Structure 1
Amino acid sequence: MDPEDIAVLERDTVAAVAPPETLEIGGWLVPLDDGTMGRAKSAAPLRHDLGPDALGEIEAAYRDRGLKPSFRIADVPALDPVRAELARRGFAPIQPTVFKIGAIKQLAAFSDGSANILANPDGAWSAVFLGEGFDPVDGAHRVAALTRSPDAVYGAAGDGGETQAVGVISFGARWAGIHGMRTAPAHRGKGLASAILAALGRAARDRGVERVFLQVEEANPARRIYRAAGFTPIWRYRYWR
């Protein structure tokens, strides 16, 4: 990836979850939040060749606000010194996650299933995050973070007029970002997520956006859907906590 694109993607990632406060320290983006969404509360380098010099100041910024320091670090060789210093400071890597990019044109044509686009999420949309099979505390934090994005639209799909699957597409400086894809466990395998992805893609296409990104945990079986929709990995990252 072009270094400028890396910085734009990182800024758009954080903007989509709109943490209450975001700092920039020594080339790092430092979102400050007390919720459960890792992207909203973990510092990330705006370049993949930064060294560890700013880690102490970043740690202090979190601790000064009563927050636990956290970092989101791509698994690229140039960041080896950062990982080594984090390990020395007592941090450990968890939750390997794949960063993927795709083309809006391909995403918009991915499915002809039916899904609704909402300018603002309603109660039924939020309820999917709080339903059976999901952690209600985590769900509430995700709803709060995803609905405070400064520029986003929301997808909803289901049978019989009910909302059983949801998603979000945010619009950043240059990229659209897919976030918050969730389907109620009893309704998986029906193509609802595919219908939402395509509907969100069409919403982005109508705005003239051409490129889209998303992040998915490495162990998440939904990766096959994103692969079919044309998303390709550009790097993997882990949270260091």
Structure 2
Amino acid sequence: MRPAAVEALERDTVAAVAPPQTLEIGGWLVPLDNGTIGRARSAAPLSHDMGPEAVGEIEAAYRERGLKPAFRVADVPSLAAVREELTRRGFAPEQPTIFKTAFIAELAEFSETSARILSEPDDAWGAVFLGEGFDPADGAHRIAALTRSPGAIYGAAGEDGETQGVGVMSFGAAWAGIHGMRTAPAHRGKGLAAAVLAAMGREARARGVERVFLQVEEANAARRIYRKAGFSSAWRYHYWR
């Protein structure tokens, strides 16, 4: 992926989760948040050719503010020196996550099942997002962060007019982003996630957006759905904590 695309993706990734403050230190984005969203509280390089020179300054910036230092680093050969420096400082890699991208045109045609698009989450949307099978404290923090994301939309789908599957789409300077895909446990396997993804894709297409990204933990079975929706892997990363 071209360096300019990597930088655009990282900037739009952080903007989507709307941390209270973001620093830029030595070519890194350093979001400052004490919540539960990893992307909102871990530093990420704006280039995959970054060296380790800024790691110490970034660690100090977190500690000076009473925050736990964390880094989000792609598993690419050109960042090996960064990972070596983090290891030397006592950090360890956790939570392997896949960064995926797709074309909006393909996503918009993924499902013909209808879904609703909301300008803000309603009570039924929140009930799924905070419901059975999900951590309510983490969910509440994620809703608060995502509703701060400028222009975000909220997808909702279900049977008989109910809301049983939900998702969020953010709009950055260059990319749309998919976040918060959740389906109530009793209604999984009914195509609700596909309906939500496609509906949000159609909204993005209407806005003239061409590309979309998402990030999914490596062990998450939802990767199968995203592959069918046209997403392909851009890179894998770990959180270093």
Q: Note whether the superposition's TM-score is higher than 0.5.
A: yes
Deviation at 1:129, TM superposition (A): 2.1
- Paired AA for residue 215 in structure 1: Q
When the two structures are superposed, what TM-score results if normalisation uses the length of structure 2? 0.98
Residue 237 of structure 1 corresponds to which residue in structure 2? 237
- Paired AA for residue 200 in structure 1: M
Residue 149 of structure 1 corresponds to which residue in structure 2? 149
Deviation at 1:56, TM superposition (A): 1.1
In structure 2, stretches of 5+ residues that fail to align are none
In the alignment, the residues of structure 2 paired with residue 211 and residue 124 of structure 1 have an alpha-carbon distance, to the nearest angstrom, of: 29
RMSD: 0.8
Residue 71 of structure 1 corresponds to which residue in structure 2? 71
- Paired AA for residue 69 in structure 1: P
Residue 121 of structure 1 corresponds to which residue in structure 2? 121
In the alignment, the residues of structure 1 paired with residue 42 and residue 126 of structure 2 have an alpha-carbon distance, to the nearest angstrom, of: 24
Question: More displaced, 27-36 or 137-146?
Answer: 137-146
- Paired AA for residue 224 in structure 1: R
Structure 2 residue matching 1:125: 3-state secondary structure: helix
Question: More displaced, 109-118 or 124-133?
Answer: 124-133
Residue 22 of structure 1 corresponds to which residue in structure 2? 22
In the alignment, the residues of structure 2 paired with residue 38 and residue 81 of structure 1 have an alpha-carbon distance, to the nearest angstrom, of: 22
Residues 33-75 of structure 1 deviation map (CA, whole Å, 9 limit, x = unaligned)? 1111101111000000111111111111111111100100000
Question: More displaced, 141-150 or 188-197?
Answer: 141-150
Deviation at 1:146, TM superposition (A): 1.3
Q: In the comparison of the two structures, how many residue pairs are matched?
A: 241
Structure 2 residue matching 1:72: 3-state secondary structure: strand
Residue 34 of structure 2 corresponds to which residue in structure 1? 34
In the alignment, the residues of structure 1 paired with residue 145 and residue 165 of structure 2 have an alpha-carbon distance, to the nearest angstrom, of: 18
When the two structures are superposed, what TM-score results if normalisation uses the length of structure 1? 0.98
Residue 110 of structure 1 corresponds to which residue in structure 2? 110
Deviation at 1:161, TM superposition (A): 2.0
Deviation at 1:151, TM superposition (A): 2.0
Q: How does 1:71-220 map to 2 (within 5 A)?
A: 71-220=71-220
Residue 44 of structure 1 corresponds to which residue in structure 2? 44
Percent identity over the alignment is 76
In the alignment, the residues of structure 1 paired with residue 75 and residue 181 of structure 2 have an alpha-carbon distance, to the nearest angstrom, of: 24
In the alignment, the residues of structure 1 paired with residue 129 and residue 197 of structure 2 have an alpha-carbon distance, to the nearest angstrom, of: 17
Residues 144-169 of structure 1 deviation map (CA, whole Å, 9 limit, x = unaligned)? 11111012111011122221111111
Deviation at 1:110, TM superposition (A): 0.3
Residue 2 of structure 1 corresponds to which residue in structure 2? 2
In the alignment, the residues of structure 2 paired with residue 214 and residue 226 of structure 1 have an alpha-carbon distance, to the nearest angstrom, of: 9
Residues 56-104 of structure 1 deviation map (CA, whole Å, 9 limit, x = unaligned)? 1111111111110010000000100000010111100011000011010
Question: More displaced, 153-162 or 217-226?
Answer: 153-162
In the alignment, the residues of structure 2 paired with residue 233 and residue 199 of structure 1 have an alpha-carbon distance, to the nearest angstrom, of: 22
Structure 2 residue matching 1:160: 3-state secondary structure: helix
Deviation at 1:170, TM superposition (A): 0.9
In the alignment, the residues of structure 2 paired with residue 2 and residue 137 of structure 1 have an alpha-carbon distance, to the nearest angstrom, of: 38
- Paired AA for residue 238 in structure 1: H
In the alignment, the residues of structure 2 paired with residue 184 and residue 61 of structure 1 have an alpha-carbon distance, to the nearest angstrom, of: 39
- Paired AA for residue 199 in structure 1: A
In the alignment, the residues of structure 2 paired with residue 168 and residue 69 of structure 1 have an alpha-carbon distance, to the nearest angstrom, of: 27
Deviation at 1:16, TM superposition (A): 0.5
Residue 228 of structure 2 corresponds to which residue in structure 1? 228
In structure 1, stretches of 5+ residues that fail to align are none
Deviation at 1:207, TM superposition (A): 0.4
Residues 152-192 of structure 1 deviation map (CA, whole Å, 9 limit, x = unaligned)? 11101112222111111111111111111111111110100
In the alignment, the residues of structure 1 paired with residue 136 and residue 110 of structure 2 have an alpha-carbon distance, to the nearest angstrom, of: 31
In the alignment, the residues of structure 2 paired with residue 129 and residue 62 of structure 1 have an alpha-carbon distance, to the nearest angstrom, of: 30
Structure 2 residue matching 1:36: 3-state secondary structure: coil
- Paired AA for residue 85 in structure 2: E
- Paired AA for residue 23 in structure 2: L
